[in-house]
Structure formats: structure tokens, C-alpha cells
């Protein structure tokens, strides 16, 4: 969770469950103002929208077309074989 939690500033990250009791104790000393400042700077609406748009753009970006004979067929528009009596 390091993309969300800044260790020692907005929370505590533990690799081992045995570290949790000390982390809970240390979390009492975290600054609410520092937590809020981090969230405001990294997770404001404009930043989140920009990030989501980039992810959607990457996912939805058209792939290079595939070549079928002499015809270029975009990915996702390839026809499926027509079922025959043997395959139906």
C-alpha cells in the first residue's frame, strides 16, 4: 500500500503481523494535518480524474490491427467461425 500510505506520515506499513502492535502505538503520534495535506495533494478530484482518464485511455486505446489475408481486421472485430453441424 505504499502508493496510498506514506510510512510514518499517513500511516504505518508492516511486513510482519508481529509488527502490528508497535505500529498501532506509533500511529497515535501521526499528525492529522500531515495526513490531510497528503490526501489533498495526492487524491484531489482533478488528480484522480486525470489518473483514471490515463488508465481508461491505456485500456481502450485501439490495438494494432491484425492482418487476415490482404484485409486489415482491427482487434476485437474478428469474426467468429460459423458453427457447423459437426461443431454445433
Residues of the chain with pLDDT > 70, as a percent, come to 68
C-alpha cell at 83: 458453427
Burial class (CB in 10 A: 0-12, 13-18, 19+), 46: exposed
- Provide mean pLDDT across the span 64-87: 57
Q: Which residue has the higher pLDDT, 29 or 74?
A: 29
pLDDT of residue 70: 54
Higher pLDDT, 82 or 15: 15
39: nearest Cα among 81, 82, 9: 9
pTM reported for the whole predicted model:
0.51
Res. 82 pLDDT band, cuts 50 70 90: low
pLDDT digits (tens, 9 = 90+) for 28-58: 999 999 999 998 888 889 988 998 998 888 8
The structural domains of the chain, with segments of one domain joined by +, span: 1-67
Q: How confident is the model at residue 11, as a pLDDT?
A: 92
Amino acid at each position: 500500500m505504499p502508493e496510498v500510505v506514506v510510512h510514518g506520515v499517513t500511516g504505518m506499513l508492516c511486513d510482519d503481523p508481529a509488527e502490528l502492535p508497535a505500529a498501532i502505538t506509533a500511529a497515535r503520534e501521526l499528525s492529522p494535518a500531515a495526513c490531510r495535506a497528503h490526501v489533498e495533494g495526492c487524491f484531489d478530484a482533478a488528480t484522480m480524474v486525470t489518473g483514471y482518464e490515463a488508465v481508461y485511455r491505456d485500456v481502450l486505446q485501439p490495438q494494432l490491427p491484425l492482418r487476415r489475408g490482404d484485409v486489415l481486421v482491427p482487434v476485437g472485430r474478428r469474426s467468429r467461425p460459423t458453427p457447423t453441424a459437426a461443431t454445433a
